[in-house]
Amino acid sequence: MAVPKARLSFWQIWNMCFGFFGIQFGWSLQMNNMSAIYEYLGASPEDIPGLWLAAPMTGLLVQPIIGYLSDRTWHPRLGRRRPFFLIGAILSSIALFFMPNSPVIWMAAGLLWILDTSINISMEPFRAFVADNLDEKQRPFGFAMQSMFIGLASFVAGYLPSLLVKWFGFSREKTGGSIPENIQWSFYIGGFVFFFAVLYTVIFSKEYPPADITGWKQKAKESNKGFGGGLREITHSIKNMPLQMKRLAIVNFLTWPGLFLMWFYYSTGVAADIFKGDPINDSETYTRGLEHANTTSAILNLVTFLFSFTLPFWVNVAGKKWTHVACLLVGGAGLIWVNHISDPRLLFAAMSMVGIAWASILSMPYSMLANHLPADKIGIYMGIFNFFIVLPEIIASLFFGKIMIHFLNNDRLLAVQIGGFLLILAAIVCIFVVKEVVDDKKPVLS
């Protein structure tokens, strides 16, 4: 018998999305610190994009496969998506414990590959989880709730290395390896947070079984014809993407390179260019600059957390499309400003502007997309949609190192400024390409 989608309460949606706090906590530690970890181990700025390559390559393969498998999974106790949450959380937590003990660059790169794979196993089904459990009117609120947890987790993770020094007496020095002690313990704490936050959602949330569970199981069994069958299904889905998905894919394809350039170079750019530190010869000053960059990134995510609460209001006023356009323009201006700042305190304002864009990037595209996807293929299409996140990262990883050497003179903050122009370009394209449908203007307040 089909189980109708009841209107969920605030706390039911909270429980359903809370696991994203742990996922984002681990992901933020990775994004904020991996470039610095590479430089602590001896990498130069032009090496950084290539060392990130394994992560998007993995995402390109893992996300649609996990989406395909989770669409066809039904565990009598854990449901459809939650088995993948749990497996990914266990593997990610283990990788977070090992990462800050990497003695050489190749080991750090290998662990990043494992960590990113594991995070994708948990993260990709979470997008489908919201679409599965909420009706059309509550989906925007569910995605906004995810953005809220993403912002909160990123805020705490960004502040954590600095707090460990100021409140608990950890050292900024390399006390037992190549990585400073406070960075090491941030990753250890992140491993615990990741696992227990996801476990909370697994325990305290539920999933709706598919309509006509017997017929669904038979259909899933017939469609699971080995690797070839899965590949054909993924290929067929790519060829038959909904039109709205194609439009939003173009916007995402331009948005995410701007973010990746920020993650590649913002923290190390602040440490090296504004604080004038050196990861090898003056690691204490460099680490202090890295902490300041992470603190401003934490403020970015605090703004994301707070602004996410207002997104339903702005959507009701302006619609999803124009809300997203405005947020991208503000964030792009913030990244451009970064390259013109000499007073580190002004970075708090610039990154707050990026936080407004980040809140929208994490929710509006998925909210505009969800109502256009077939219910039995939400997982696989969410995975395919993420192609347009990882493909730009692959392109940046392959080619931006050469751009850094030959055109930018290894100027890290100039690379961040280019990221800002890309966000503005994405906003302009969104104006002319994305069509706002009637459903995108429905009330979204829970």
CA 21 to chain centre: 11
CA 48 to chain centre: 19
In angstroms, rounded to a whole number, what is the distance separating the alpha carbons of residues 53 and 388? 15
pLDDT value of residue 166: 84
pLDDT value of residue 188: 93
**Neighbouring-strand partners of residue 306:** none
In angstroms, rounded to a whole number, what is the distance separating the alpha carbons of residues 329 and 308? 17
pLDDT value of residue 195: 94
* Residues 248 and 239 sit within 8 Å (Cβ to Cβ): no
pLDDT value of residue 230: 65
pLDDT value of residue 147: 78
In angstroms, rounded to a whole number, what is the distance separating the alpha carbons of residues 112 and 374? 33
**pLDDT tens per residue, the chain (446 residues)?**
445 567 888 888 898 889 989 998 998 888 888 888 888 888 887 788 888 777 777 777 777 778 777 777 777 777 778 888 889 899 999 999 998 888 888 888 888 888 888 888 888 787 778 777 887 778 778 877 887 888 788 888 888 888 898 888 888 777 666 788 888 899 999 999 999 999 999 899 887 766 655 555 555 555 555 556 667 777 888 888 888 899 999 999 999 999 989 988 998 899 989 998 887 777 778 888 988 998 898 889 889 888 988 988 898 899 999 999 999 999 999 999 999 999 999 999 999 999 999 999 988 998 888 778 887 777 778 778 878 888 888 888 788 888 988 899 889 999 999 999 999 999 999 999 998 765 444 433 33
Longest dimension (CA), the chain: 67
Q: What pLDDT digit, counting tens, does each position of 129-151 carry?
A: 877 788 777 877 887 788 788 87
pLDDT value of residue 386: 79
In angstroms, rounded to a whole number, what is the distance separating the alpha carbons of residues 287 and 337? 23
SS3 282: strand
pLDDT value of residue 348: 96
CA 169 to chain centre: 31
As given in the structure block, the two tokens for residue 117 are 């794979």
- Taking CA atoms, 391 is separated from 47, 61, 66, 385, 388, in Å, by 19, 11, 17, 11, 5
pLDDT value of residue 221: 58
pLDDT value of residue 218: 58
pLDDT value of residue 45: 78
pLDDT value of residue 235: 82
- Environment class of residue 7 by beta-carbon count within 10 Å: exposed (0-12), middle (13-18) or buried (19+)? exposed
Phi-psi region of 169 (alpha: psi -120 to 50; beta: other; left: phi over 0): left
Q: Domains along the chain?
A: 10-219+227-439 (1.20.1250.20)
